[in-house]
Structure 1
């Protein structure tokens, strides 16, 4: 993909006079300026990241019409986005009818040809050559696995399979066809495995002389599509490439070859448009993120409790040594141990005995290592978990094994954190490696049991898998009741302006695990279940809901006559060959269509238009259909019932509500999550963790008007409360969230739309100071006012900043912002700083106020305590305060930030600023001798900081 031999860019003389009729937004103008520089410098790849609704399509069309001025190919992941590219030409002055310039077909290609990725990348499903290669691949696989001694024996077995079990044969052959195609594509021969229709389309496009390829939603190109398009790029003689996406792709689990190809094809991101910037510029609608919490139903709770008990019982059974059921810490009181005892025979060596032996001998699977440090370095997770496990069972650590570090206090799944690594190593290294067949059987039963908790033991370790407990939490029936509460509150606030969208993972499911069939029927958690719930309540039924998925359109029964009339008029006006009728279902109607134009693209467009008009005020659908590419600017309520947490999927889904509504200039969209929690049980916080994961990649508005990345923007409580404490606040939190729907005007003002802002996110710290008197007392300076959390945080910040500037680590002084948040938190950040400056300052401040790890230097902090005297007690308070006495008290030892602790001269600079801003005192070297003991004593006596600190990324 080298650019060295690419042809020079030259305008096509016959290119039509296509001109943009409007004014580009500021962010679009920046993209065009960057593109001009890129192309002028001979670079032929441009990679742009911008949120849904920020005008990516217009950017692409402008680059085509104003810069490239040549035949262009646009590729999109679905037909809805494909059609939008031609539709957006309405914003351009055209010399001819649009049909003469642009097409959504390739026969023939025009100046702008908009196709789907599928149209150019369809693989050939069969053919003698492909089948022959697949069969050879299959034979070699059987020989390599030892299931056949040579290719001849393998071929005989495969032929026999084809005669006696054709279904299985066809399924396996399809798998090996795909492997052959993938291998060819990875080797750069992807065009050889394409269907004839895709090859023909590529040939026509090459003949047209494509000079620009625009790849929309290009995050999809880490796989087959990307392999084909890399080769097609060569076929087209390396035209300009513009990649557009709302979010870079998720790279986990992708092949290195595909990642390298993607990076080489697009290069680094040339320009990224943050969502808050587009909102503050006034080109996307402001929004607020909200949540409702629910508890599992009694039946669901019983299942979760039983699963939790079974996990505890599994651990107990594996800890039973032969003939010693009452070993230390085991006991017989585990609630499900009697039941599991019938399934699990006693192991030849208990898990406690094995862990003790492995730690004592420092034995790894490859052999014994020389010392504990080597053992810990080779398997640090097990080294910690094994020691925690033994201590938890009141079992003495072997001689020579040091105590483990403190347990992670903020881990919501502490039981699994301790036990899963121990179970994994015990199953793989002891039971599977045993000479006793009974141990092998125990291992397999334990593996099956762990799957209940979403843990899959493989040959090389553990990996996450679908957990029945997690599914029960994700699709809990209480969520539908929460949806009704949300919609009632939103309807009361918005009236007829409400346009709500409910998005689920699926329409209904037919793959319910055996363990949960009594809890989850085929509709549980799906779009159909939500739709039925809406119809069952008069207030939400009044929204005239419609369900639309890739295979179904369901309509509120009393809406059907009006919808039928409006649909017929729309189909006629748009010249669609469609006939439809309504079939009766219990409580609703099903729309059945026929005709050459009846397909998801037609009926989704139809229903969306009727939704925009207000004929229906609530759409229910799946993320596959109402996610990427779907556009309805009137959406002002989005309820997310999906389980997706990847940044790519979350950003695409949330973008559905950001569009500006010309009829509602004061629009503020509410984006809702519904979360089920049962923190008292193992895996009972799975849904909460998903909620945290979704918001980890999202910016949102906080109660003090700062746009912050992470779950803290939903509510300050999610920064303040540990997950297990959220349950006790469900009532107040839910009530506050529902109340926010009536405060749209207030929250819209907090966005400060149209006001100046910093163009990039900045790093910040949210601090809650505590321990050793915390922020109490007076600064040890004459005439000072008492410390507050804010004043202390700012004083330490000024000491850090002053030292960084004087030492030359920061080039110039900046202002420090210190704002107070709900719950006693103080947010601190450096104003108008670059990314590097912000990172250096926040990391140094975090170290200065955070817990003592292993600091190189520490420095003391003292405060003045005010005490009454006999005279001050006699006098009125307003006068007596001047006769109080002061007593100075050491209350804390703080770390000197590592950036300022590298040598004594830097420490002296920091000490000078600390003495000026915070407290008298001398820095002490803490890596040995008295200083090392001083740190240990500070931890033991409460003189070490215990502040709660959360690093944040905020947009100002």
Structure 2
């Protein structure tokens, strides 16, 4: 062990969950990896430093930003030395010391300086660097992987990986790469653990909705109307209908099987459009896809998704094959360009980009921010510490006239500053902190001077309001001004701070924040979670602090569910774990925990917002809800929710039945049979007298079969096809679990893990593992979701069929999860366990000619569900 590291010692008591994690360190590090998931505020940096101390080797610590890199050195001096006197450290990767703090970008730049990569590997060996610490490794850009993977392949290191948000939502290749570098997850600290130990503050997310301005509403309504008119005209356009009828896919499908199999959505879109026109689809066209003559396909409605797929292929993907019709295709292109639905080689009838851009920048959000700030100030008074994060600065709004403020049409740091300065009370408590613009009120200059000399800065009054000063450092680093503003904010001289997500969103530490407004719509789950982390840290000066996190959404008045912005929020919330707004609270991720209605009509927005503000001011209730919910569980469990569908699905949706039709059918059949029995006895009493009891029984059976034979057959088919869904899902889960175990993915011991499957009140079915670790839970949930989702393009299919099923026209198609479908031997292992729980089945390789044909048939069986959310992965504290 290095002498310098041996002398380090953590000078404070460990938190209980940190001590628990470190207790198992020796067993976890046996494979030379230690991979920990822990949320912001859990002391990841301190844990990392303790592990470095325990290993006692020369270490390279890599962080995503300079700010976080500097924090590592600061935590080392503050928490592991008595007098901040640790000397053998370096910030220069070219001149390493016992501990070297650097960034991923610096390592990548250093890597590129070596023409012979052997010299790169030798550099680390010659400097005896044996430990790599990867802080927030999910930040790694594609180009940055090479230098680390190269290093790992050619040298022996201890690799310590610390992250708040593993990239579970990334592609399989990226997830695989991540775990190859970092190793399997060894331990996880959950948000409820931290709240229970009072190391994170109780907190809640709130959504404040806004209604677009009249100009925006008119723009949206006109846009939707024009597209609806275009669709109506197209359905009557005989030229276009003939164009599709003459398309090679429809005219001669047998001649183009390979193309058909590789682009099933295109062929589906052609059929769906022709069907919507009232055109009778020639069944011979479907026979080539494996459908028998008696099989009828119920086509879904021609919505804008399908219209988009059709035109994306006609105008882009398939255009070279339509060269003989180029003149007509060009006229179609011009029509779509005039409608603004075809730009940058992309067809978008929904208007996701065009309308979303308009709504995400809606000035109505500026009014939302003013309302939130006013409500929070009224509630918290002098205790208010509000931070507003956004994406852009918008320097053009720095010196606008007073009468122009209400004409601001963009979201950004300066538009928000102007609105709050003009429309909120106590503007002297307001400040701006971004990479290039810093604004303070002149009234806090004296407080500024107690922290840093004014001589190092220039102060220029704003033209629009001389009481506000533009602050510019004189040859001093940006970090210095960030530090000064942070201290002023912590002290309460600044109560509302507006900044950019890039500067303050990650790594910036101001524990006093109790109200965070996220006016940012750029970024991933990961960055959203990092931004929230700013507001949920505990504040030793305010032990009863609760954090309110505000999300903004401008509602699309033409969409009942609120539109694209609400949809984006829903996706973001998959990464957030929090307490529900329900009467009996529990801890979960997902948007549903806020109990916001599925439909958000614009006329109910004010009522909804008033209710949200009222709930947000009752901060003591937030704390109570956390305390109640935490007591109901011990750890976070990932589970799959199979979503209930209110509409009865058609035959194509065979593999999953979303409501228990069989149960209702049996009840209906029972009462009908009783009624039939009473009526038959009453009407046929004379038969008993004339012919005897046996003749009566024969007549009863004959009448019963005649009346109920079809219904009984229908019930039998329903049961064979669907059974009781939650039991079937449970059996699927067992097949997945046993396959994971046989293929070596289960490290917790198969005997300790069970599958739990049950029905929720609304009809959703939930399935999860009990007794598994985080990685096992994640792999299980992903595999089950893939098994139940509409079929896309798996390498292998399982077809549940037999002679009896074929006679009843019941075939179920299931995609083999990607984790098991990469090799045939793995797919066979899954099929073996499937057979033991769910009966006989056929395994089909979809890359063969026959396989492609059946894959297309299977996909068409699910075409009705192509754009619906079928399953959802949920984290629940249990």
TM-score with structure 1 setting the length: 0.64
Q: Name the SS of the counterpart of 2:575 in structure 1.
A: coil
| 2:550 is aligned with 1:550 | no
Contact 1:290 1:737 in 2 (8 A): yes
| 2:263 is aligned with 1:379 | yes
| 2:85 is aligned with 1:98 | yes
Q: Name the SS of the counterpart of 1:582 in structure 2.
A: strand
- Equivalent position to 2:392, from 494, 506, 526: 506
CA distance in 2, matches of 1:904, 1:207: 56
Question: What residue number does 1:737 align with?
Answer: 612
Q: 1:433 to 1:750 in 2, by over 3 A?
A: same
Q: 1:190 to 1:263 in 2, by over 3 A?
A: farther
Question: What residue number does 2:214 align with?
Answer: 298
Q: 1:604 to 1:831 in 2, by over 3 A?
A: same
Question: What residue number does 2:381 align with?
Answer: 495
What per-residue deviation string (whole Å, max 9, x for no partner) do you get for residues 139-179 of structure 1? xxxxxxxxxxxxxxxxxxxxxxxxxxxxxxxxxxxxxxxxx
| 2:372 is aligned with 1:486 | yes
Question: What residue number does 2:240 align with?
Answer: 351
Question: What residue number does 1:637 align with?
Answer: 515
Residue 215 of structure 1: how far off its partner (Å): 2.3
| 2:60 is aligned with 1:73 | yes
Q: 1:443 to 1:46 in 2, by over 3 A?
A: farther
Q: 1:733 to 1:440 in 2, by over 3 A?
A: same
Residue 617 of structure 1: how far off its partner (Å): 1.0
Greater Cα offset, 207-216 or 634-643 = 207-216
Contact 2:526 2:575 in 1 (8 A): no
Contact 2:342 2:348 in 1 (8 A): no
| 2:41 is aligned with 1:50 | no
Gaps of 5+ in 1: 1-10, 124-184, 320-327, 331-348, 409-413, 512-517, 782-795, 848-853, 858-894, 909-935, 937-946
What per-residue deviation string (whole Å, max 9, x for no partner) do you get for residues 367-411 of structure 1? 8246xxx88644332233223323334444345456654538xxx
Contact 2:39 2:164 in 1 (8 A): yes
Residue 214 of structure 1: how far off its partner (Å): 1.8
Q: Which has the higher relative contact order, 1 or 2, with Cα contacts under 8 A spaced 6 or more apart?
A: 2
TM-score with structure 2 setting the length: 0.69
CA distance in 2, matches of 1:742, 1:548: 27
Contact 1:48 1:272 in 2 (8 A): yes
Contact 1:121 1:228 in 2 (8 A): yes
Q: 1:269 to 1:253 in 2, by over 3 A?
A: closer
| 2:458 is aligned with 1:571 | no
- Equivalent position to 1:82, from 58, 63, 69: 69
- Equivalent position to 2:503, from 612, 625, 630: 625
Question: What residue number does 1:164 align with?
Answer: none
CA distance in 2, matches of 1:669, 1:950: 27
More helix by share: 2
- Equivalent position to 2:164, from 231, 238, 246: 246
| 2:594 is aligned with 1:594 | no
What per-residue deviation string (whole Å, max 9, x for no partner) do you get for residues 703-736 of structure 1? 231112211012252xxx2x5x554643332222
Greater Cα offset, 751-760 or 626-635 = 751-760
Q: 1:465 to 1:94 in 2, by over 3 A?
A: farther
| 2:354 is aligned with 1:468 | yes
CA distance in 2, matches of 1:773, 1:542: 64
Question: What residue number does 2:14 align with?
Answer: 24
Question: What residue number does 2:115 align with?
Answer: 192
CA distance in 1, matches of 2:499, 2:509: 14
Contact 2:305 2:350 in 1 (8 A): no
Map 1:872-911 → 2, pairs under 5 A: none
Question: What residue number does 1:397 align with?
Answer: 281
Question: What residue number does 2:236 align with?
Answer: 329
- Equivalent position to 2:144, from 217, 222, 225: 225
CA distance in 2, matches of 1:311, 1:581: 53
Q: 1:538 to 1:525 in 2, by over 3 A?
A: closer
Question: What residue number does 2:459 align with?
Answer: 581
Question: What residue number does 2:204 align with?
Answer: 288
| 2:542 is aligned with 1:654 | no
| 2:613 is aligned with 1:706 | no
What per-residue deviation string (whole Å, max 9, x for no partner) do you get for residues 466-525 of structure 1? 8232211111111111111122222222222121111111112889xxxxxx99999711
Q: Name the SS of the counterpart of 1:244 in structure 2.
A: strand
Q: CA RMSD in A?
A: 5.2
Contact 1:797 1:816 in 2 (8 A): no
Q: 1:739 to 1:385 in 2, by over 3 A?
A: farther
Residue 221 of structure 1: how far off its partner (Å): 2.2
What per-residue deviation string (whole Å, max 9, x for no partner) do you get for residues 803-843 of structure 1? 9999999989999999988xx68897789665889979x98
What per-residue deviation string (whole Å, max 9, x for no partner) do you get for residues 674-729 of structure 1? 11122426998221221112112222211231112211012252xxx2x5x55464
Residue 363 of structure 1: how far off its partner (Å): 5.0
Q: 1:742 to 1:538 in 2, by over 3 A?
A: closer
Q: 1:192 to 1:45 in 2, by over 3 A?
A: farther
Q: 1:833 to 1:247 in 2, by over 3 A?
A: closer
Question: What residue number does 1:747 align with?
Answer: 622
What per-residue deviation string (whole Å, max 9, x for no partner) do you get for residues 436-492 of structure 1? 664464466467557x4586437xx99999823221111111111111112222222
CA distance in 2, matches of 1:107, 1:811: 50
Q: 1:906 to 1:118 in 2, by over 3 A?
A: closer
CA distance in 1, matches of 2:260, 2:207: 42
CA distance in 2, matches of 1:85, 1:46: 18
Question: What residue number does 1:526 align with?
Answer: 412
Residue 659 of structure 1: how far off its partner (Å): 0.5
Residue 291 of structure 1: how far off its partner (Å): 0.5
Q: 1:603 to 1:819 in 2, by over 3 A?
A: farther
Q: Name the SS of the counterpart of 2:323 in structure 1.
A: coil
Gaps of 5+ in 2: 287-295, 398-403, 647-658, 671-723, 739-749, 789-798, 803-811, 816-829, 840-860, 862-868
- Equivalent position to 1:763, from 633, 639, 647: 639
Question: What residue number does 1:61 align with?
Answer: 49
CA distance in 1, matches of 2:23, 2:623: 31
Contact 1:64 1:72 in 2 (8 A): yes
Residue 775 of structure 1: how far off its partner (Å): 9.1
Greater Cα offset, 761-770 or 529-538 = 761-770
Residue 642 of structure 1: how far off its partner (Å): 1.2
Q: 1:626 to 1:407 in 2, by over 3 A?
A: farther
Q: Name the SS of the counterpart of 1:547 in structure 2.
A: strand
| 2:565 is aligned with 1:687 | yes
CA distance in 2, matches of 1:456, 1:462: 10
